A and B are shown apart, each in its own frame.
Chain A
Amino acid sequence: MPLQSRHLLGLDGVKREDIQLILDTAVSFREVLDRPIKKVPPLQGKTIANLFFENSTRTRLSFELAERRLSADVLGFAATGSSVTKGETLKDTARNIEAMKVDMVVMRHSAAGAPHYLSRVIEANVVNAGDGAHEHPTQALLDMYTIREKLGRLEGLHVCIVGDISHSRVARSNIYGLLTMGARVSVCGPATMIPREIEKLGVGVFHHIDDVLPHVDVLNVLRIQLERDAGRLFPTIREYHNFYGITRQRLEKAGRNITIMHPGPINRDVEISAEVADSEDSVILQQVLNGVAVRMAVLYLLSTKN
């Protein structure tokens, strides 16, 4: 069964079988990453453009590595120093790139819906690598892959996402994906960081981290935007750490093994203590490695779908 769509724009509305197919396919690519020659030929002759209109290091590197390991030709594009700063519209930029016979476009953009728009004006397959505060589907897929790898399943697990849910595309994609896969999802953070009416998506809402910890199997700890949010969404970094920082003491008090995830980059001793980030229960580095395999699976499935 091939994927239902020829683009991956988000996980909202994506069927369970499709998520399952991507995760299962990623297992094969994960094996490739352990080989002496970490490269397979299925995308030979395909060209993929990475359009990053917003800064990104790890997502961009992860996609680029995934593309090269599938033997695709890779075009890089960064907004700074490009025609975007000269006033070119998104449509014109994309059309110009497409005129160079690109088969696939991976895009990150600060505007929610930008990849959806792109998918309507160009022929190439479009993969959303993060659009504003909307979705970041490959991050959620790699998170789900990592949970499944560590705990053997998704169904019935309780995953809590901690941090700035309102501005997080990672949270949104995780919520859609995890609920579809039958997991329980809750969010935790100060009221300023929790979108109103989020319960309507089917998630539990907590404002005190110690209330939810005794019930969760997985914690997905989001990065705090220090520069932007201190003094605005919470009073001080120290106060955020005291109320929401994930520390060993907190986890011990919860009295159960909780798998710790973080999409990175980490602010050590702000949203998560260095000790917890480096602990046995942390799968943060596995997430990074699995990200390459999951992105290979997405690119492979989209490009071989006819």
Chain B
Amino acid sequence: MRKTKAQIIDEAGFERTITRLAHEILERNKGAENIVIVGIRTRGEFIARRIASVIERVEGCTLSIGSLDITLYRDDLLGKLEQPQLKGTDILFDLNGRDVILIDDVLFTGRTIRAALDELIDLGRPRTIQLAVLVDRGHRQLPIRADYVGKNVPTMAAESIRVHMREVDGEDAVLLMHPEIPE
């Protein structure tokens, strides 16, 4: 059991953060013309859809949106973790020459992003890959950084960040959780 230490982002803040990220992406890329959106399953996918819908509204365009299951590219797959369920990668468009906005909920060690980059590059040769995350909690184990950050949250390694989203959890919120207390 983990107990909540603090709420980092509330319902209204969540919406504003998504909106700001969408605008930053548009600003940096000077529009949405060459952009495609790829979310990392599971919550990254939902954040990707939210950001995409803001961009679509602002620009009056339709974006290609895909989702990435990085399980097969994990570096701890043959370790002792529980066998993860494959949810499948679903990218039905060409990545060649596009600017890929890769989206995840929490940036932590960087290992998930390493896996995602390897998988994306097996799928094609994007012009750029830019990383957007809702929360950057530090403690990187690989030389990876995000291009767009919703909120930087200093944490202890043993703490955890929990992202709740309406689509699966019934509410939008980001919570900082205390280290796990053994029962």
Contact = CB atoms under 8 A, between A and B. Distances in A.
A40 B72 contact: yes
A35 B80 contact: no
A303 B83 CA distance: 10
A39 B123 CA distance: 10
A242 B23 CA distance: 71
B73 A41 contact: yes
B83 A28 contact: no
A27 interface: yes
Nearest to B74: A42
B89 interface: yes
Contacts of B86: 24-25, 27-28
B35 to A, nearest CB: 21
B122 interface: yes
B63 to A, nearest CB: 21
B72 A42 contact: yes
B73 A28 contact: no
A1 B119 CA distance: 25
B88 A31 contact: yes
Contacts of B99: none
B77 A305 contact: no
User: Chain B interface mostly helix, strand, loop or mixed?
Assistant: loop
Contacts of A32: 72, 89
Contacts of A45: 78
B56 interface: no
Interface string B37-79: 0000000000000000000000000000000010111100110
Given A40-B72, A305-B83, A28 B77 contact: no
Contacts, number: 50
A10 B89 CA distance: 30
Given A304-B77, A305-B83, A28 B122 contact: no
A300 B72 CA distance: 9
Contacts of B33: none
Instruction: Using C-beta atoms within 8 Å of the partner chain, give the interface range for chain B.
Output: 20 to 34
A17 to B, nearest CB: 12
B77 A39 contact: no
A57 interface: no
A100 interface: no
B118 interface: yes
Contact of A28 (B69, B78, B124): B69
A2 B124 CA distance: 32
A306 interface: yes
Interface in B83-101: 83, 86-90
A237 interface: no
A179 interface: no
A18 to B, nearest CB: 12
A35 B121 CA distance: 11
Contacts of B72: 28, 32, 40-42, 300
B131 to A, nearest CB: 21
A231 interface: no
A235 interface: no
Given A28-B69, A45-B78, A39 B83 contact: no
Given A25-B86, A304-B83, A305-B83, A42 B77 contact: yes
A306 B89 contact: no
A45 B79 CA distance: 13
5 contacts: A1-B83, A36-B123, A42-B71, A304-B83, A305-B83
Interface of B: 69, 71-74, 77-78, 80, 82-83, 86-90, 118-119, 122-124
Q: Which 4 A-B pairs have the closest CB atoms?
A: A28-B86, A2-B83, A28-B88, A40-B72
